[in-house]
Structures are given as C-alpha cells and as structure tokens.
C-alpha cells in the first residue's frame, strides 16, 4: 500500500494499464509534453512516447470519434476531456456513435473518456459542470464517479478493461484534497456502490465529491447513526445496495453536486419511491445544485453548490421528522 | 506537406467542374492537369501521369480508366456488384410499397459506381465505414443479399437483427462499421481506424463515404484536419449527388469542397462518380498513398441522386431535364457498353443476379421477426467483439 492523492491514483491506474497492455494509450489536449491541464499524465510522454501519449488537436468530437475508431480496431484508448464541460462538443460521437454501436451491430467500443468535473474553485459556468446525467440518459454508456483514491484507481482500471464505453467522472476538487491508501499493482473495483460509513438512523446517498461533504456533515450529529452510501457507479446503478440501505435506515437524503433536474439523485429518488415506499419513515429529501449555471464569484458559487451545512441541515430536519 | 494539396486549386476550375460534372474519360480534369505538373508536388501517382499522356481512348469504348489494373474478371465483378445493388434496392422498394419494409426506404439508384469501385480497390484487411446509398460496398465485402433483405424488413436474421433499419448497418465480421444518421460522424471513426493502423505500423487503410450536405458540419472539418495533421492512411469519399434531401449544392457550399483538401495539407481529387472503373482507379491510387505513409486523400465522386431522399420523396424540386441528363450517364449502362464488346455475357449476368435476389427475398421473408422480449437485451458487451477481415476482391492483391 502507498499513500496517494486521488490524482496520483488516476495516473497510477493509467500507468499500470499502459505498462501491462500495449493496446492502451491516452489521448487529449495538452496531455503529452505539458502533462495535462491538471498534470494527470505528467511524465507519461517520457515513459511511453508521443504516439501513446497523444497530443491532439483542439477538437472534442474528433477525440471521441477517433477513439471509437481505434477501439473497434482493437485498441483501448483513454480520452481526456480537458474539462468535463467540453464533452458537450463530443456529445454526438459519445451518444450516437459509441453508445449505440454494440446494441445496433454487435461491435464493442472499448473506450474510456475521462471527465475532470465539478466546481468549488471559481471555475465559472464552463469549467465547473457535472454533466454525468446527460450520459446516464443515453443508453449504452457506463458512468462511474469515484470519491476516494483507492476507488479512483480500481474503477479506472476496470473502465479501461471494460469492452464498453465508460465515462469516468473524476472530480477536480478531489484531485489533491483527497489522499488515501492505494494498493500497489493492478486491481479492479466493481461498478457497485459501497457503504462509506455504516449507520442505522438515516442514509445519505451521494457520489464523487459529495461523499466527502456527506461524511463531514454527518460525522458528529447529536449522536445520530448516519449511513453514507457512495454510489461509485451511476450506470449501472446499484439498485440492490440503495434499497438495502433504505430498508435499514428508513430515512434518505440524496445529495448531488449536479443541477437537480433529472440528476442522478432524481433517479435514486424514483427508484426508492417505486421499490421502497413502505420502508420509508419520512419524505425522500434531496440536496442538489439549483438549476442555474455554476456562477464564478465565490459567494455565488457557494450559494448554489451543496455545502456541508446544507447537508447537515437537511439531515437534521429529516431525523426530526 | 504543405505544398501537396496545392495542385487542386486553379483559377476558373470551379466553374469548369460545375459545368463538366461527369467527364467522358472518367479521370477528371483536375487529375489530368495535376498529372502534367511535377510529381511530388501533387501527390498523384505515376500511373495517372502515364495514362493522362496517352490518347483519350475515345475510339475504344472498352478502354478502362484503370488501365492494366483491372482484369476482365475484376471489371465483370464490378458490373455484377452494381447490378446486385440495383436489383436488391428495386426489389426492396417494391417490398416497401407492399408494407413489408417498415419505416422508410433509401436507395442509391444511379450511384452504384460510387460504392462499387472504391470497395473493390480496398484490401480485405482494410476497413470501411459505409453510407446509406452505398450498398455495393456491403455486397463486395461479402454480406449475403438475404441478410440485407432481412435487414430492410426488420427481421431477426438481418445484420442488426431488427435493431436498426434500412442501410444503417455494418457487418463487423467483414470489417465494416455501420453509419449513424448524424453525418458525417463516420469520417472521425474512419480517421480513428486509420490512427490504429498507424499506431501499430500496419500497412492498412480506412475508407469512408459521406455526402455533399455533410461537408457543412463541423465533424467534416475535425476529421479532415485530424487526418491531415496525423497524416493518416484514410480515404474520404465525398459523394456529391447534388442534393442533400431537397437542398442543392448551391445552397450548401460556396466553393466545391474538394478544394478544401489543399487547406488541410493533402490532395483532393474529383472523379466521375458514374464511372465504376474511374472510382476504382482513383481509390486504388489513394490507397497506395495511404499505405505508403503519405497520408489521406479526399475524393469527390460527382454523381446524381436519381430518386428522392427516401421512398416518400417525389423529388419535385429537381428539374426533369437534370434527371434526364443524368439518366444518360447511368453507371450500369456505361459498364455494360464497355464489357459487351469484350464478350461478357451480360444477359447471363443479369439473370444470375435476379435468381440470387429472388432466392434472397424468399429466404428473408421466411425469417422470423425479432422477439419483443429481446429488445432490452444485449445493450452492453460482455466480451470484446471487434472488426474482422473480409476477403479481398481485387485481383491486384
């Protein structure tokens, strides 16, 4: 075991896979010589060369489209969007070409698309988004979102090896803020939820950066026993784990950093309403970003992104219900 | 590299091209002109120069724009592929009108040479991303007509098993990737295929077709630029059939897109899209360039969409004289005129194709419709399922 940041764990996953499998290569804007906007591929070009650490033109549709072509020919590209926001320019290739390819014609598309996502540092409306729900709604794409360093590595390795297109949501705000013990070598983390903290009075369901917000908000809450369920995978969604936590705790708060309309949490809420109605001891409560672009100024940004106090307040209210 | 594409753009050529459209010899004026310039500057291979220096061959109706590169067997194979394509599509249109083909139906009547020639020029280990009016390419790669008929009818035995309709298919086992409706998305996928060949240092090439309307979208630019920057072994075939649905090319672009190739650093070549041996030859040359590491080629195959955009479209927006003019340039008639004097039994060829299609229709009609229960299955792959090789068709391989 080694202590790594979330960012180092992501780098480590790609390095391990590139060393072990020559089919794996990385491509994206400024990822080679510069090492990536966030330095996730720092030093890769020296170890693997410019062909496997490919600096691409500034063209997201082309990054995704050519990755698809390389994948159906047997390679395993890992494409980086410089910021998750720019995936909107590659949306068509992901949704219409990659997502539907296997269903339509039995041709598997083994691509991993890394999306540095999320806000919290004045990135403004074009560098702070959480676009995972766009892709949850597009059949044929898997969507995962780690919250810890250990899971970042294991989920990314699993994604790289998965014969299907996988959208890998890596939260920028966790890159250097989150550290943890990470196993050496290669390992896969299943696309399933994990109980981040066990509890019995209420469960907070979250993923990505909001797992940490949830843990902090409920660390010491008047002695209440609060479970935190880390979804880790949004597609496939771990229905069993969600319903198990709900049945155990009977009260649910769902947290999304994404805009609330049709967010991952909305799907979780629908799932609970449909399958666990009789197990509930109160309304399903959601905490999410209101449906506005993510504003730039710190005071505005903090006003919209779910904060520790927002989650704490929501949990308190529901505990008192 | 920067000088390679410059041969395409000459003053006054655009108007000439517009008025000329399909040249008599099949090899376009641009190619001939370029061939008279020093090689290397133009990116066009020696064969073109040699041929261009020969008399036009108008006296010999059997002469081929591909010269010695096509045997009589190749030339007959090209005709057969075009006859099959037309026969299958005509029959499918009847089935559509009988209510046996759901949705709509899109055909490539009159454009058969655009897919047949290029597909013939590609090796079995090359890859194709095929457009909706390019059925001959599927046939040349070896897809059985019965499975194509079943595909049109949404049967379980069709290439997509009823999951996608009409010509939205690609048989991965013969190295083909099916198109999507967002055009020209497959230009990028083809560039990606070529990128894989380049990364693995393989002498293989990828080819894709797209229409005149496609050149207005951003993916055209992204693919052209990417392929130029990375010098990829990819062949882009712009199928200029004069109309994108009802929109004529005059409302689509101000400058013929073949001239854009120069701006991306590689050659653009215009060819008579109704001459199957010319489309073969220009693709053969582009493939040679590609596998020699010289990069992409844009080929503009000038043709005409002789039917509506789809079965429902009566094409009232096309002047009748334009259709008549192009009817005289029918690619099948043209190939028949070439081969009959050489002793090819075209009557036998036609009846063989008809018998094959009759059998294919019967076989497809006997296939089951897919079980509704399976509609939600097989969304994700459990194991990799990748492209595989086809058999090469050209005698030169």
Q: Which residue has the tokens 């395409």?
A: B8
Mutate to test the interface with A, among B181, B230, B380 (most CBs of A within 10 A): B380
A65 neighbors A93 (Cβ within 8 angstroms): yes
Identify the closest residue of chain B to A56 by CA–CA distance. Answer: B226
Q: Does A187 fall in a domain?
A: no
A110 touches chain B (CB under 8 A): yes
Mind listing the domains of chain B with CATH numbers? 70-369 (3.40.50.970)
Q: Structural domain tally of chain A?
A: 2
Q: A172 and A279: one domain?
A: no
CA distance A124 to B230: 34
Say whether A140 sits in a helix, a strand or coil.
coil
Q: Does A19 fall in a domain?
A: yes
Identify the closest residue of chain A to B163 by CA–CA distance. Answer: A104
Q: A6 and A52: one domain?
A: yes
Domain endpoint, select from A182, A203, A220: A182
Instruction: Give the mean model confidence (pLDDT) for residues B261-271.
Output: 98
Pairwise CB contact (< 8 Å): A61 & B219: yes
Identify the closest residue of chain B to A22 by CA–CA distance. Answer: B200
Among B108, B110, B94, B82, which Cα is nearest to B149's?
B94
B353-371 tens-digit pLDDT: 999 999 999 999 999 999 9
Cβ-nearest to B169 among A65, A103, A105: A105
A71 touches chain B (CB under 8 A): yes
Provide the CATH number for the domain around residue A62: 3.40.50.970
pLDDT in the model for residue B166 = 84
Domain endpoint, select from A182, A205, A222: A182
Q: A149 and A60: one domain?
A: yes
B156-184 tens-digit pLDDT: 999 999 999 988 999 999 999 999 999 99
Q: A163 and A31: one domain?
A: yes
Distance to chain B for A87, nearest Cα, Å: 14
Cα distances from B122 to residues B111, B189, B196, B356, in angstroms, run 19, 17, 17, 25
**pLDDT confidence bin for A268, thresholds 50/70/90:** very high
Model-level pTM?
A: 0.92
Pairwise CB contact (< 8 Å): B193 & A62: no
Q: What percent of chain B has pLDDT over 90?
A: 84
Q: A15 and A149: one domain?
A: yes
pLDDT at B33 over 90: no
Q: A170 and A233: one domain?
A: no
Cβ-nearest to A103 among B379, B382, B386: B379
CA distance B154 to B67: 42
Cβ-nearest to A97 among B189, B225, B382: B189
Instruction: Give the mean model confidence (pLDDT) for residues A91-101.
Output: 98
Instruction: Give the mean model confidence (pLDDT) for residues A205-219.
Output: 98
A58 touches chain B (CB under 8 A): no
Distance to chain B for A281, nearest Cα, Å: 34
**pLDDT confidence bin for B58, thresholds 50/70/90:** low
Distance to chain B for A54, nearest Cα, Å: 10
Q: Which residues of A touch B194 (CB under 8 A)?
A: 69
**pLDDT confidence bin for B60, thresholds 50/70/90:** confident
A112 touches chain B (CB under 8 A): no
Pairwise CB contact (< 8 Å): B386 & A100: no
Distance to chain B for A27, nearest Cα, Å: 12
Pairwise CB contact (< 8 Å): B383 & A93: no
Q: Does A135 fall in a domain?
A: yes
Identify the closest residue of chain A to B377 by CA–CA distance. Answer: A103
Domain endpoint, select from A182, A212, A246: A182
Q: A269 and A310: one domain?
A: yes
Residue A299, domain extent: 194-319
Q: Does A137 fall in a domain?
A: yes
B118-152 tens-digit pLDDT: 999 999 999 999 999 999 999 999 999 999 999 99
A131-170 tens-digit pLDDT: 999 999 999 999 999 999 999 999 999 999 999 999 999 9
Q: A102 and A212: one domain?
A: no
Among A213, A207, A215, which Cα is nearest to A237's?
A207
pLDDT at B90 over 70: yes
A88 touches chain B (CB under 8 A): no
Among B76, B62, B90, B36, which Cα is nearest to B349's?
B76
Q: Does A65 fall in a domain?
A: yes
Structure tokens at A278: 């009789």
Among A240, A219, A69, A209, which Cα is nearest to A145's?
A209
pLDDT at B24 over 90: no
Higher pLDDT, B40 or A159: A159
A107 touches chain B (CB under 8 A): yes
A108 touches chain B (CB under 8 A): yes
Instruction: Give the mean model confidence (pLDDT) for residues A293-321.
Output: 98
A103 touches chain B (CB under 8 A): yes
Provide the CATH number for the domain around residue A313: 3.40.50.920
B114 neighbors B273 (Cβ within 8 angstroms): yes
Cβ neighbours, 10 Å, residue B168: 21
- Using a 10 angstrom Cβ sphere, with 0-12 exposed, 13-18 middle and 19 or more buried, the burial of residue B299 is buried
Q: Does A237 fall in a domain?
A: yes
**pLDDT confidence bin for B6, thresholds 50/70/90:** very low
Q: Does A39 fall in a domain?
A: yes
Q: Does A189 fall in a domain?
A: no
| ipTM computed for the complex | 0.96
Q: A6 and A110: one domain?
A: yes
Pairwise CB contact (< 8 Å): B386 & A68: no
Identify the closest residue of chain A to B165 by CA–CA distance. Answer: A104
Q: A171 and A224: one domain?
A: no
Pairwise CB contact (< 8 Å): A66 & B185: no
A15 neighbors A43 (Cβ within 8 angstroms): no
Among B2, B9, B26, B16, which Cα is nearest to B301's?
B26
Among A225, A203, A222, A223, which Cα is nearest to A214's?
A203
Pairwise CB contact (< 8 Å): A108 & B196: no
Supply the mean pLDDT for chain B. 89
Q: A173 and A262: one domain?
A: no
Pairwise CB contact (< 8 Å): B177 & A107: yes
Q: A84 and A160: one domain?
A: yes
B223 neighbors B296 (Cβ within 8 angstroms): no
Q: Which DSSP string corresponds to A78-101?
A: EEEPSSGGGGGGGHHIIIIIIHHH
Q: Which residues of B touch A235 (CB under 8 A)?
A: none
Active site positions of A, annotated: 127
């Amino acid at each position: 075991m080694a202590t790594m940041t979330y960012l180092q764990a992501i780098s480590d996953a790609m390095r391990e896979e590139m060393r072990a499998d020559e089919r794996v290569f990385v491509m994206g804007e400024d990822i080679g010589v510069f090492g990536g906007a966030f330095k996730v591929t720092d030093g890769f070009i020296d170890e693997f060369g410019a062909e496997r650490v490919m600096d691409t033109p500034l063209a997201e549709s082309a990054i995704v489209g050519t990755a698809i072509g390389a994948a159906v020919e047997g390679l395993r590209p890992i494409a980086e969007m410089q910021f998750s926001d720019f995936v909107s320019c590659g949306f068509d290739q992901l949704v219409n070409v990659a997502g539907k390819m296997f269903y339509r014609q039995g041709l598997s598309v083994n691509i991993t698309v890394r999306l540095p996502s999320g806000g919290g540092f004045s990135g403004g409306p074009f560098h702070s988004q959480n676009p995972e729900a766009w892709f949850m709604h597009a059949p044929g794409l898997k969507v995962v979102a780690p919250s810890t360093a250990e899971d970042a590595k294991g989920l990314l390795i699993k994604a790289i090896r998965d014969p299907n297109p996988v959208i890998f949501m890596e939260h920028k705000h966790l890159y250097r803020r989150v550290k943890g013990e990470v196993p050496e070598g290669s390992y896969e983390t299943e696309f399933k939820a994990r109980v981040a903290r066990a509890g019995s009075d209420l469960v907070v369901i979250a993923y990505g950066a909001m797992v940490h917000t949830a843990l902090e908000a409920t660390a010491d809450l008047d002695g209440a026993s609060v479970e935190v369920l880390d979804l880790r995978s949004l597609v496939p969604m771990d229905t069993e784990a969600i319903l198990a936590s709900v049945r155990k705790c009977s009260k649910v708060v769902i947290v999304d950093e994404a805009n609330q309309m049709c967010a991952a949490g909305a799907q979780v809420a629908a799932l609970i309403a449909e399958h666990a109605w009789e197990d509930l001891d109160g309304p399903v409560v959601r905490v999410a970003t209101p449906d506005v672009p993510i504003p730039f100024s710190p005071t505005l940004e903090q006003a919209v992104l779910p904060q520790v106090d927002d989650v704490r307040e929501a949990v308190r209210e529901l505990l008192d219900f | 590299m920067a000088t390679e594409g410059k041969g395409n753009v000459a003053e006054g050529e655009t108007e000439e091209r517009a008025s000329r459209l399909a040249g008599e010899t099949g090899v376009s004026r641009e190619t001939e002109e370029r061939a008279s310039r020093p090689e290397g500057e133009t990116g066009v291979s020696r064969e073109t120069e040699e041929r261009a220096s020969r008399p036009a061959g108008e006296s010999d109706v059997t002469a081929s724009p591909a010269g010695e590169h096509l045997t009589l067997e190749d030339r007959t194979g090209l005709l057969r592929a075009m006859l099959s394509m037309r026969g299958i599509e005509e029959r499918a249109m009847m089935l559509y009108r009988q209510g046996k083909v759901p949705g709509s139906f899109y055909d490539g009547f009159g454009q058969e040479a655009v897919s047949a020639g290029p597909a013939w020029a590609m090796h079995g280990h090359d890859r194709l991303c095929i457009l909706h009016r390019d059925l001959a390419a599927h046939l040349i790669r070896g897809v059985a007509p019965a499975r194509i008929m079943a595909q049109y009818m949404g049967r379980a035995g069709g290439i997509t098993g009823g999951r996608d309709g009409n010509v939205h298919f690609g048989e991965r086992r013969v190295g083909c990737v099916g198109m999507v409706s967002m055009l020209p998305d497959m230009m990028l996928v083809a560039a990606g295929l070529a990128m894989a060949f380049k990364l693995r240092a393989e002498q293989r090439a990828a080819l894709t077709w797209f229409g005149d309307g496609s050149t207005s979208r951003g993916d055209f630019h992204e693919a052209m630029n990417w392929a130029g920057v990375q010098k990829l072994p990819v062949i882009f075939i712009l199928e200029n059939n004069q109309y994108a649905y009802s929109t004529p090319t005059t409302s689509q672009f101000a400058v013929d897109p073949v001239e854009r190739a120069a701006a991306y650093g590689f050659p653009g070549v215009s060819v008579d899209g109704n001459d199957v041996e010319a489309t073969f030859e220009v693709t053969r040359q582009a493939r040679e360039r590609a596998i020699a590491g010289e990069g992409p080629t844009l080929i503009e195959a000038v043709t005409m969409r002789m039917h509506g955009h789809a079965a429902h479209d009566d094409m009232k927006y096309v002047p009748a004289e334009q259709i008549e003019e192009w009817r005289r340039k029918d690619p099948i008639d043209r190939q028949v005129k070439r081969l009959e004097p050489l002793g090819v039994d075209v009557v036998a060829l036609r009846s063989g194709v008809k018998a094959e299609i009759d059998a294919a229709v019967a076989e497809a009609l006997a296939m089951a419709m897919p079980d509704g229960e399976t509609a939600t299955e097989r969304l994700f792959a459990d194991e990799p399922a990748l492209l595989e090789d086809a058999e090469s068709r050209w005698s030169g391989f």
